[in-house]
């Protein structure tokens, strides 16, 4: 099948009438399809080495933060950005040329899939790379020191947010972490300006327009699609928010949590109020009795699970489906626990270091908790994607869309049912009845449903920043406006433009697009339902575990191996039989909880 570039891509590749010297350029011989093929092959060979060099430099910086490793990471990033600019410039020769298959698709991806678009001027590339490394390092080294000089890093502050029920202690930790962000503000503004310049040079209106283009649809079409998916799940979120607010009002007092106002953001068990699972004991629908308790963390600790054993448990789920074992180098080169002798970025991440030798790694500061166990299953989803598409050209070694990459591991976590935990010895004599089901679904919803509006608003804020709809003078106010609009939460104390609260969330200084996480929460249920059907499961969707299903594993592996070599609707169809993302599986999964919430919330003031 032949393919012509879209008008947007052709515009991006339009040849300049004049060279850098200002003199008229000499007309070139029209390029051929064979030359395009040769360029495509050469680019992929070079891309492999560039990715390897940059990955190693970034790995060392994140697992051993010093001024030296920050410098080396910035230089590697600078070289990578200059390489990308050079390749994009060379690709202009093939504008309008009718190309086939992989070459056409590869050049389209090359143009649109730039998370960090850089201006062409080398001095600006250097500046962009330096700011990117600086912002990431500032976040990784962030600490809160109180008036007594006692300092806490993010891990310690997150533990307070997760475990404390003291209003003032939570507020202190919440405010303290946000003190790391104001120094980022000026750098972030310049960072945005440089990325927008690079995006415009690629033919896009701004960086947000570029980020949305990676979904094989126009910017406007993608926003409509994201809003459609949010509309499908919004009623369930609104019922959950109403119930949680009422329960927190009983715990902290109606003066602190009014029945008709947004929830104070520091009371939801998480530094960013993005997932609320840690407050489950405060909002549990029915008091747990012996035999109904699902305390996986206590069982992990009682059975002396360390990081290695937790990762082995997760690997055994994937191999039970017929997927390959992790390479030995994974165990040798990953960072699975926090080192005692140096600063590191603890935020969990999976790394595709060297596909040629299956060098895949995870960086994580693991603790024996259910939250970390679920995170491990999620991160291994990335690792298995890396392993299965490793044979593809570098340009195709990525998820069908970036939501797919996040959804794979998340889909498998849905199989971590009470029945599964019993199978692997992490849960005792659990007996599910109507009340136990509502309790379990509440626990799930506090993470998976509570996250949805947060996942949607992060990039909504950035898209508006990139587009100039939010000026630098409105950064913080607009952030909180969106958090209230989407989540029904608010800052617990007055904030101003002297603050930069977006910078206290890893993905902002790290410049990681976030809509992928929103889409992943939709896709994981769609994937789960499809794999349960393939496995021949009969019964309520919430009871399904695909643990041990070779049939589901075979279908999953086939989709993973496609990478981004085909448009995402084709990959979606390969696993689910449909070409459209859809949230109805979420509604089906949580139907028991939705019915219970609607009944429980009758007579309450919902909304904000």
78 domain-assigned: yes
> Residue 11: what pLDDT?
35
Q: Which two tokens stand for residue 87?
A: 């390749």
pLDDT tens digits, one per residue of 327-377: 999 999 999 999 998 988 898 999 999 999 999 999 999 999 998 999 999
491 domain-assigned: no
> Residue 2: what pLDDT?
36
> Residue 28: what pLDDT?
61
The one catalytic residue among 378, 382, 405, 507: 507
The region of weakest confidence among 14-28, 71-85, 153-167 is 14-28
The region of weakest confidence among 201-205, 255-259, 332-336, 462-466 is 201-205
pLDDT tens digits, one per residue of 530-579: 999 999 999 999 999 999 999 999 999 999 999 999 999 999 999 999 99
- If pLDDT is split at 50, 70 and 90, which confidence band does 6 have? very low
59 vs 76: CA distance, rounded Å: 11
> Residue 537: what pLDDT?
96
| % of the chain with per-residue pLDDT over 90 | 78
pTM of structure: 0.84
Mark whether 507 is an active-site residue: yes
79 domain-assigned: yes
Whether pLDDT at 16 is above 50:
no
pLDDT tens digits, one per residue of 257-294: 999 999 999 999 999 999 999 999 999 999 876 545 67
Whether 128 and 118 have beta carbons less than 8 Å apart is answered as yes
> Cβ atoms within 10 A of the Cβ of 98, count?
12
> Residue 20: what pLDDT?
38
Q: Please tell me the total count of domains within the chain.
A: 1
- If pLDDT is split at 50, 70 and 90, which confidence band does 148 have? confident
Whether pLDDT at 8 is above 90:
no
Q: Which two tokens stand for residue 190?
A: 């310049």
Whether pLDDT at 164 is above 80:
yes
> Residue 14: what pLDDT?
34
> Residue 203: what pLDDT?
86
Whether 333 and 359 have beta carbons less than 8 Å apart is answered as yes
569 domain-assigned: no
Segments in 113-218 forming alpha helices (H):
122-140, 154-163, 167-178, 185-201, 207-213
Looking at every residue in the chain, the average pLDDT score rounds to 91
Whether pLDDT at 5 is above 70:
no
Whether pLDDT at 300 is above 70:
yes
> Residue 293: what pLDDT?
64
Whether pLDDT at 23 is above 70:
no
The domain in which residue 86 lies consists of 2-14+31-136+187-214
pLDDT tens digits, one per residue of 52-64: 999 999 999 999 9
> Residue 21: what pLDDT?
38
Whether pLDDT at 12 is above 50:
no
Whether pLDDT at 3 is above 60:
no
Mark whether 165 is an active-site residue: no
204 vs 225: CA distance, rounded Å: 20
> Residue 292: what pLDDT?
56
What 8-state DSSP symbol labels residue 18? B
509 domain-assigned: no
380 vs 175: CA distance, rounded Å: 33
Among candidates 101, 130, 137, which has minimal Cα distance to 2?
A: 101
Whether pLDDT at 488 is above 90:
yes
> Residue 289: what pLDDT?
64
Query: Which residue pairs from 88-95 have beta carbons closer than 8 angstroms and sit at least 24 positions apart in sequence?
Result: 88/202, 89/120, 90/39, 90/43, 91/13, 91/39, 91/43, 92/13, 92/14, 92/15, 93/28, 93/31, 93/35, 93/39, 94/13, 94/31, 94/35, 94/36, 94/39, 95/5, 95/10, 95/13, 95/14, 95/15
DSSP notation for 190-251: HHHHHHHHHHHHTT-SSHHHHHHHTTSS-HHHHHHHHHHHHHHHHHHHHHHHHHHHHHHHHH
The one catalytic residue among 315, 343, 379, 490: 379
132 domain-assigned: yes
65 domain-assigned: yes
545 domain-assigned: no
Sequence-ordered list of residues with C-beta below 8 angstroms from that of 606, at least 6 positions apart, any chain: 238, 239, 241, 242
Whether pLDDT at 108 is above 70:
yes
Q: What is the mean pLDDT of residues 519-528?
A: 96
Query: Which residue pairs from 455-458 have beta carbons closer than 8 angstroms and sit at least 24 positions apart in sequence?
Result: 455/274, 455/514, 455/515, 455/517, 455/518, 455/520, 455/521, 456/226, 456/230, 456/486, 456/515, 456/518, 457/482, 457/483, 457/485, 457/486, 457/487, 458/505, 458/507, 458/508, 458/514, 458/515
């Amino acid at each position: 099948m032949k393919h012509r570039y879209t008008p947007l891509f052709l515009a991006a590749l339009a040849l300049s009438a004049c060279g850098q010297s200002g003199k008229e350029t000499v007309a070139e011989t029209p390029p051929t399809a064979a030359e395009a093929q040769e360029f495509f092959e050469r680019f992929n060979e070079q891309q492999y080495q560039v990715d390897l060099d940059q990955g190693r430099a970034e790995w060392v910086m994140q697992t051993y933060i010093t001024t030296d490793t920050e410098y080396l990471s910035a230089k590697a990033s600078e070289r990578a950005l200059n390489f990308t600019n050079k390749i994009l410039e060379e690709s202009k020769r093939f504008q309008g040329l009718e190309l086939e298959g992989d070459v056409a698709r590869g050049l389209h991806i090359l143009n649109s899939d730039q998370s960090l678009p850089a201006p062409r001027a080398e001095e600006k590339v250097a500046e962009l790379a330096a700011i990117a490394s600086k912002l990431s390092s500032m976040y990784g080294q962030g600490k809160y020191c109180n008036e007594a000089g006692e300092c806490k890093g993010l891990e310690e502050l997150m533990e307070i947010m997760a475990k404390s029920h003291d209003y003032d202690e939570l507020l202190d930790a919440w405010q303290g972490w946000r003190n790391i962000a104001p120094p980022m503000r000026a750098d972030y503004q310049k960072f945005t300006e440089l990325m927008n310049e690079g995006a415009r040079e690629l033919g896009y209106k701004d960086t947000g327009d570029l980020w949305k283009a990676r979904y094989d649809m126009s910017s406007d079409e993608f926003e409509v699609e994201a809003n459609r998916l949010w509309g499908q799940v919004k009623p369930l979120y609104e019922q959950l928010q109403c119930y949680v607010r009422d329960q927190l009002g009983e715990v902290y007092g109606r003066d602190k949590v009014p029945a008709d106002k947004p929830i104070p953001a520091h009371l939801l068990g998480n530094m960013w109020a993005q997932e609320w699972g840690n407050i489950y004991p405060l909002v549990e629908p029915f008091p747990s009795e012996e035999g109904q308790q699902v305390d996986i963390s206590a069982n992990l600790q009682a059975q002396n699970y360390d990081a290695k054993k937790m990762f082995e448990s997760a690997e055994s789920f994937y191999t039970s489906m017929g997927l390959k074992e992790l390479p030995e180098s994974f165990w040798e080169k990953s960072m699975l626990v926090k080192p005692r002798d140096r600063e590191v970025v603890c935020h969990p991440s999976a790394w595709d270091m060297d596909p040629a030798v299956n060098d895949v790694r995870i960086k994580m500061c693991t603790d024996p908790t259910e939250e970390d166990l679920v995170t491990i299953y999620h991160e291994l989803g990335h690792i298995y994607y890396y392993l299965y598409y490793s044979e593809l050209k570098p340009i195709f070694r990525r998820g069908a869309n970036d939501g797919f990459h996040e959804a794979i591991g998340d889909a498998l976590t849905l199989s971590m049912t009470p029945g599964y935990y019993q199978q692997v010895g992490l849960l005792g004599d659990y007996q599910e009845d109507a009340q136990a089901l509502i309790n379990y679904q509440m626990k799930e919803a506090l993470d998976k449903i509570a996250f949805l509006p947060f996942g949607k608003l992060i990039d909504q804020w950035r898209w508006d920043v990139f587009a100039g709809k939010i000026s630098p003078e409105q950064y913080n106010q607009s952030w909180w406006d969106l958090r209230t609009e989407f989540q029904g939460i608010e800052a617990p104390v007055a904030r101003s433009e002297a603050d930069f609260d977006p910078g206290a969330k890893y993905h902002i200084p790290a410049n990681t697009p976030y809509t992928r996480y929103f889409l992943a929460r939709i896709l994981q249920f769609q994937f789960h339902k499809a794999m349960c059907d393939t496995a021949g499961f009969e019964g309520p969707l919430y009871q399904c575990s695909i643990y041990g299903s070779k049939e589901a594993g075979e279908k999953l592996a086939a989709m993973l191996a496609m990478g981004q070599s085909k448009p995402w609707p084709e990959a979606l169809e390969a696993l689910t039989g449909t070409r459209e993302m859809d949230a109805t599986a979420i509604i089906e999964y949580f139907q028991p909880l939705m019915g219970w919430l609607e009944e429980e919330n009758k007579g309450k003031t919902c909304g904000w």
